[in-house]
Amino acid sequence: MDVMEAARAAKRASTVLAAADTKSKNAALASVAEALTRRAAEIAAANAEDLRCARETQLAAPLLKRLKFDEASVATAVAGIRSLIGLPDPVGQTLTATELDQGLDLYRVSCPIGVIGVIFESRPDALVQISTLCLKSGNAALLKGGSEAAHTNRILAEIIVQASEAAGMPVGWLQLLETRAEVTAMLALDTDIDLIVPRGSNAFVRHIMDHSNIPVLGHADGICHVYVDAAADLDMAAAVVADAKCQYVAVCNATETLLVHQAVAALFLPRLRDALAAHHVTLIGCPRTAALIAVQPATEADWRTEYLDYTLSIRVVDDLPQAVEHINTYGSRHTDAIITRDRATAAAFMDQVDSANVFWNCSTRFSDGYRYGLGAEVGISTSKIHARGPVGLEGLLIYKWKLLGNGQTVAPYAAGTKPFTHRRLQRSCPL
């Protein structure tokens, strides 16, 4: 495949898709849902072939589980498309409206970003989800799935492309890349591709971020912290840390490091050790921690490690500023929580910790688009611009300024003979 030509075609399609009305986009989504349902057996057969190859190459059991996409998975994906159809069109929303002068009205209106490059690992449901999110938001997309799922991805993309183009969506709006070389080529196409959304392991995302000039929406590490303050309810703290660490260890919002205020460390740490005992959590700690409970000695590297396992690093800190400094130095700007009864301390923590999600008296595991009620999740971003934390459909949108006049020139305003009114309007852009 000529990736440059694919990106050009996607760019051309994106201008048409940007102007597509809500009805035709929803009709295309309905056609996609219908086609996926009709061809579910074919999809399951392609997936069985991927599973067979994966077993032959001794793919690990958790990866095999993520790769599986049977008729029930198709039904789940189709249910997702049906609920997406029900969401309001995020394109064409008037965000602000200002009269600059009589008959000269300025509207800031939401619009698609353009062409999105999406790279994801084994789960084929990601292909269906992200391509339909792009369609709903009027974005063209180049997709690359995991090579283990090649057969499944190929038939899914073929069905989505056929059904949506037959329903009137512009040719080229969705294209599937199949090789690593094509991904490398895509990462260089910053003229035609506007945003990269990588979904996968942190090494993978880091690689993408380091090898493209195209903006990236995503996160690499998830080094999340819980800070147990001097004024914490220690029972609550033990329960929250146990949940944040153990409820599901293999995810980015699981806690990796615990910080404990020195004033409560002697009381809290033995209690925590007991709370975690049932989960057989490996504890790694600083010297002050080691003086209180049995731990393996922590090195500097531990503070930068995302274990994704039943392992917790622990540091006793002097005070809130040291906790904040630790998190801002070693954290990944993902999700960090404070446990305290003191409202002012909580406020200071939440203002000073430079993370996408800052929590007071609850588990870091809540940072998730579904739990936040976003409806659809594009991904979790640790970027400092555009979109941060769990990102819904609005992460695939930007705005443009539409100015509607009747022949106005700048000259009389520049000369001061005509003033601007700059009056806020309470209406939507009429076109």
Give me the phi and psi of 262, to 5 degrees please: -55, -30
Out of 90, 114, 198, 379, the residue judged to bind a second copy by CB under 8 A: 114
Closest CA to 327 of 359, 355, 307: 355
Decide if residue 406 touches a second copy (CB under 8 A).
Answer: yes
Q: How many chain residues touch a second copy (CB under 8 A)?
A: 83
Half-sphere exposure (CA, 13 Å, Cβ side) for 60? 3
Q: Which stretch binds a second copy (CB under 8 A): 57-65, 207-215, 272-280, 303-311?
A: 207-215
Q: Could you give the strand order of the β-sheet that contains 94-101, starting from the edge strand earlier in sequence?
A: 104-112, 94-101, 423-424
> What single DSSP character describes residue 427?
S
For residue 111, state whether it binds a second copy (rule: CB under 8 A). yes
Q: At its nearest, how many Å lie between a second copy and the CB of residue 81?
A: 20
Residue 384 within binding range of a second copy, rule CB under 8 A: yes
Region class of 22: left (phi > 0), else alpha (psi between -120 and 50), else beta? alpha
The tokens of 352 are what? 């000073």
Minimum CB separation of residue 114 from a second copy in Å reads: 6
Tokens, residue 11 = 């760019």
Residues 285-324 that bind a second copy (CB under 8 A): 324
Residue tagged 């819980």 (tokens): 226
Q: In terms of CB distance, is 287 or 405 closer to a second copy?
A: 405
213: contact with a second copy by CB under 8 A: yes
User: Among residues 30, 230, 350, 425, which is the contact residue for a second copy, using CB under 8 A?
Assistant: 350
Of residues 227 through 266, those in contact with a second copy by CB under 8 A are 233, 236, 239-240, 242-244, 247-248
Residue entry with tokens 């009864």: 341
Distances, alpha carbon 330 to alpha carbons 77, 202, 244, 326, 367, in Å: 38, 16, 18, 6, 19
Residue 359 found at the interface with a second copy (CB under 8 A): yes
Out of 79, 274, 401, 427, name the contact with a second copy by CB under 8 A. 401
Phi-psi region at 402: left, alpha or beta (left = phi > 0; alpha = psi -120 to 50): beta
Closest to a second copy by CB, 49 vs 372, is 372
Query: Measured from the CB atom, is 204 or 413 closer to a second copy?
Result: 413
Which is closer to a second copy, CB of 114 or CB of 172?
114
From 135, 355, 382, 393, residue interacting with a second copy (rule: CB under 8 A): 355
The CA angle 188-194-198, to the nearest 5 degrees, is 75
Interatomic CA distance for residues 228 and 343, integer angstroms: 14
x/- contact string, 175-204, with a second copy (CB under 8 A)?
-------------------xx---------
* Residue from 215, 304, 308, 418 in contact with a second copy (CB under 8 A): 215
DSSP of 94-127, one letter per residue?
EEEEEEEETTEEEEEEEEE-SEEEEEE-S-THHH
Q: Which is nearer to a second copy, 39 or 388 (CB)?
A: 388
